[in-house]
Amino acid sequence: MRFSQTLIPTLREDPVDAQVVSHRLMLRAGLIRPLGAGIYTWLPLGLRVLRKVEAIVRQEMDNAGAQEVLMPAVQPGELWQESGRWEQYGKELLRFVDRHDRQFCFGPTHEEVISDLVRREIRSYRQLPANFYQIQTKFRDEIRPRFGIMRGREFLMKDAYSFDLDWAGLEVSYQTMFAAYQRIFQRCGLAFRAVEADTGSIGGASSHEFHVLADSGEDVIVSCDQCDYAANLEKAVSRPAEIADTGAVAVPAVERVATPGQKSIEAVGQFLRWPVERIVKSLLVEAAGEPVLLLLRGDRELNMVKAAAALGVPQVTIPEPERAAQWAGVAMGSLGPLGTPLRVLADREVPALADFVCGANTEGWHWQHVQWERDVPLPALADLRNVVAGEPCPRCATGRLQRHQGIEVGHVFKLGDKYSQSLGVRVLDSQGLEQTLVMGCYGIGVSRIVAAAIEQHHDQNGICWPVALAPFQIALLLLNPREPGEVEAGEALYRDLLAAGVEVLLDDRDERAGVKFKDADLLGCPLRVVVGGRSFKEGMVEVQARTGERAERVPLAEALATLVRLAGR
Ligand code: ATP
Ligand code: MG
């Protein structure tokens, strides 16, 4: 491809509103341009990279025995009503009506559509197992679209859905997809980890996420430094500490103490001279319209996803202050478990506190020297908090947990009969009996992978593409497009490389050499080849790897063979 005839609008300066490196570099290298919030056009170079990711994903899906289909992006609302998600899905679902006033949505995912296809077309166990996939544009009206195409509203996803007669079959389908995902991310040249993930309110099922490790990642993943335990923060647990024998400790009598104006846990701790880990933090949340008081150690963070799972609701939220005050009869900062009329749920760690401080349900007052059972009944327990780096691993004897930032690029999920039940996806088994199918679903953020790859592979001058994703293997720079000898040699090398199947971007622009070098670094092709200047007069071309230290000089006559070899053709 010729630079002079391709739209590659590179930018010298960092765009002001791009917060992460991949977003900045994708704009600066002219890979994408925004059209609206979370909506982007892929320009020629960006599209080449996207197509590379797609090709790897497609190959591995085909190899794993999945069948490619292409479902409609626009889906009838009725199907979503049948599955029950029309009400549940919330504002991420972009809904609209057609000219006949029928409800539609733009697909954020395709469980309903594929279930509809399978219930109509697959009748017998003999047609199973089956796995269908597509690579298609999705739309999710994300509350906070950001980081460019990393969290877009419109994005490209590979979604696959497996159908099996029973759970044993699903297990096989799931493992096949899991292995295919590992190959996909390896081939893309990414450092990644598969982690156990939360399955929300669907009990029993299991799920793994694939994360690309990067500091800009929006997710926190937890892993053991000794064994292979790894989980998303929403799921990760640590080995519970030994519960202290509270009976053995002589706890002074419980006492109500004034804490005027002390709003935060830290402030109360300082004021009363108690360490924060011995203050019980009481948080009021709303779960399915009902108030619940959650208790945690003062130094711990609440994990809302765990709280929702423990309460068996799709999500919990922090209520508006007025609503909270109405429920609790007191401001949020003064809540506590003693004498509360609210439903109480405590983190598993809380019973270990033998002698603690908590809010007194009266503004400006706390209780101190509180003891479980003596002063307040021990509430129901659940895992409600985020684990902290350095805690003991729940799986092995010696490991410690570490926390990393990750970008979720893939997700595999055992759905079970969640959709096949509600949508009636059944076949006849070998006995002629109707069986509800067991489903799995498997997503990959195809467009997000492009951003994730840049997060992992860049330097201060630009992108350093992994070979498999590079838009071109070689950037061929013609230093002096007005020197007939150089042009002739460069053009010949370009033609020969193309004929040998090497992907080359020929920088034939009438620009200064400095501009071409800068752009070559920015665009990040694995090899840069320079034809021109002193080397050319000496019968040489200069070859430099994007991540290499120095350029090598190769005789022009050997350039083709050397480059074909280096480009791995
Ligand atoms: P997230 O937690 O990042 O919102 P999700 O759990 O909603 O992801 P899934 O429904 O599992 O995502 O979708 C499958 C894959 O699609 C994700 O693993 C991710 O790589 C990609 N993806 C999801 N939302 C977006 C988005 N807004 N922009 C780009 N890619 C996305
Ligand atoms: Mg999401």
- pLDDT 10s digits, 116-144: 999 999 999 999 999 999 999 999 999 99
The gap between the terminal CA atoms of the chain, to the nearest Å, is 18
Q: Is the CB of 110 under 6 A from ligand 1?
A: no
For residues 418 and 133, the answer to whether their CB atoms sit within 8 Å is no
14 CA to centre of ligand 1 in angstroms? 27
Give 241's pLDDT tier (boundaries 50, 70, 90). confident
Which among 217, 159, 197, 158 is positioned nearest to 452, based on CA atoms? 217
For 431, the token pair is: 């006995």
Q: What is the pTM of this model?
A: 0.90
Residue 315: CA count within 13 A, CB half-sphere: 6
Q: Is the CB of 336 under 6 A from ligand 1?
A: no
Q: In this structure, which residue's CA is closest to atom 3 in ligand 1?
A: 408
Q: What percent of the chain has pLDDT over 70?
A: 97
| Atom number, ligand 1, closest to the C-alpha of residue 449 | 20
User: Using CA atoms, how far apart are residues 477 and 48, in angstroms rounded to an integer?
Assistant: 20
Mutate to test the pocket of ligand 1, among 26, 88, 89, 157 (most ligand atoms within 8 A of CB): 157
Listing from the earlier edge strand, what are the strands of the sheet with 343-347? 316-317, 280-287, 290-297, 343-347, 380-382
Q: Does residue 242 have a pLDDT over 70?
A: no
Q: Is the CB of 152 under 6 A from ligand 1?
A: yes
Which letter does DSSP use for residue 238 in this model?
-
Q: Is the CB of 187 under 6 A from ligand 1?
A: no
Q: Is the CB of 410 under 6 A from ligand 1?
A: yes
| pLDDT tens profile 57-91 | 999 999 999 999 999 999 999 999 999 999 989 89
Helix (H) or strand (E) holding 362: none
Judged by phi (left if over 0) then psi (alpha if -120 to 50, else beta), residue 432 lies in left
Q: Does residue 429 have a pLDDT over 90?
A: yes
Beta bridge partners of 535: none
Indicate the pairing of strand 527-531 with strand 474-478: parallel
| Atom number, ligand 1, closest to the C-alpha of residue 142 | 27
Q: In this structure, which residue's CA is closest to atom 23 in ligand 1?
A: 445
pLDDT value, residue 203? 46
For residues 209 and 232, the answer to whether their CB atoms sit within 8 Å is yes
446 CA to centre of ligand 2 in angstroms? 14
Q: Is the CB of 142 under 6 A from ligand 1?
A: yes
